[in-house]
Every structure is written in structure tokens, then in C-alpha cells.
A and B are shown apart, each in its own frame.
Chain A
Amino acid sequence: TQLLEQSPQFLSIQEGENLTVYCNSSSVFSSLQWYRQEPGEGPVLLVTVVTGGEVKKLKRLTFQFGDARKDSSLHITAAQPGDTGLYLCAVSGAGSYQLTFGKGTKLSVIP
């Protein structure tokens, strides 16, 4: 059983559309991170959410941590081709050393 379930697995949308991707689990986490990975590159951290119900904004990206700290969502407003990439959620294990990733959502934004 995957610790973190991400959905959808693939998403292809037109430029200018809005979208939401999800990261769900049955476990409670002290924090959760979102990364974006572009083809041929390593993942790059977008945001860390810590508090249940927390909402963080990064330009057109809005991240929310569920009230129970078991799930998170990423909403992109007016998607641009530059948003294309693999979006990964991740959580730290006990002692904040190990990092476990979901399988990711592969987003394609068509001009």
C-alpha cells in the first residue's frame, strides 16, 4: 500500500485552464512538501505545509494542508506551459530524516 496516493496520475489541459491535484494518505503527518520536477532535472521544492488547514500561495499556485494533516491539494490558476512537469508530494519519516514520495501527477499544459 502506497503511503501517499496522488491523483490524477496524468493531466493534460489547455493553457489558461485551472486545475487541482491531490495527495492523500490515511496517516497523519507533521509536515508535507510539494516538489516539481521538470524533464531531465531533479525535483525542486515548491512549498512545505505544516499546520492543519494551512493555505500557502506561490504566484498562481495555491497549496492547502488538510485540517487533519492527512492530505493536501495543489491548485493552479490559469495554467501556463511553463507549469508543465511532474508534481510530487512528500513527507518526512520519524526523526525527519527519511523522505517518502508519492508517485506524482504528470501535468502537461498545451499552448
Chain B
Amino acid sequence: EAQVTQNPRYLITVTGKKLTVTCSQNMNHEYMSWYRQDPGLGLRQIYYSMNVEVTDKGDVPEGYKVSRKEKRNFPLILESPSPNQTSLYFCASKGQGRAEAFFGQGTRLTVV
């Protein structure tokens, strides 16, 4: 089954404790991206990657890091999480030349 898998689905952590949210896709898509979704602000892009070892900042990259060492994986790293990073996070992938994106089920992160 074609899918984008994120883990964990839910995470509660404390300020400053490094964390990684994993994302994996099995569709051989070139393009992957991370979004955060907040009430009243909609989906905002954090980082995106056009292929292995190619990443770029989205609209709200501050406080986040990403890596793309393999085509299927695109982890999101928060080196020192802060409460303003409490949000619902989505990973998405898209094939080259295709318009539609496929989303993971989301990770609800709470930083206390």
C-alpha cells in the first residue's frame, strides 16, 4: 500500500530536549516536505527536499533541521524544542512532475 508513515503519532516532551520525528514513504517520490498546522494559521511549510541531499527552507524553518540521506526518509529534528513549537506536524511526499501530495497521519507534539 502506498503510504507516508510518520512516527511517533503523539509526543510530549520538555523544553530543550532534542527530538526527532521520522517520516518514510514507499512511493519512490523525489519530493518530501514538512508542515506544521496551527489553529488560524493553516498549514505552513517548514522544510522541503527535492531529492537526496537537497533540502531547502520553507516558510517557517527557525528551530528545525532536516536531512535527506535516503530517498525514502526525511526526518525532522528539533535540537532544542520550545513551547512555541507545540503543534501538529505533517510530512508529505510528491512525485516529480506530479501535482498531488500524499500526507502522513500527523504527529501531535507538545513541548512543556
Question: A residues near B, CB below 8 A?
Answer: 31, 33, 40-45, 48, 88, 90, 92, 96-104
* A45 CA to B103 CA, complexed, in Å: 9
| B42 adjacent to A104 (CB under 8 Å) | yes
7 more contacts with CB within 8 A, not counting A98-B58, A101-B35, are A43-B90, A48-B100, A88-B42, A98-B48, A99-B92, A99-B94, A101-B43
- Interface size classification for chain B: 20 to 34
What are 17 A-B pairs with beta-carbon distances under 8 A?
Answer: A40-B105, A42-B4, A42-B90, A42-B105, A43-B90, A44-B103, A45-B100, A45-B101, A48-B100, A92-B99, A99-B45, A99-B92, A99-B94, A100-B45, A101-B42, A103-B42, A104-B42
* A102 CA to B35 CA, complexed, in Å: 13
Q: How far is the CB of A8 from chain B (nearest CB, A)?
A: 14
- Which residues of A are found within 8 Å of B96, using beta-carbon distances? 96
Q: How far is the CB of B111 from chain A (nearest CB, A)?
A: 20
Chain B contacts with A in 56-112, Cβ cutoff 8 A = 58, 90, 92, 94, 96-106
Question: B residues near A, CB below 8 A?
Answer: 4, 31, 33, 35, 40-43, 45, 48, 50, 58, 90, 92, 94, 96-106
Given contacts A41-B106, A99-B94, whether A33 and B100 have CB atoms under 8 Å apart is yes
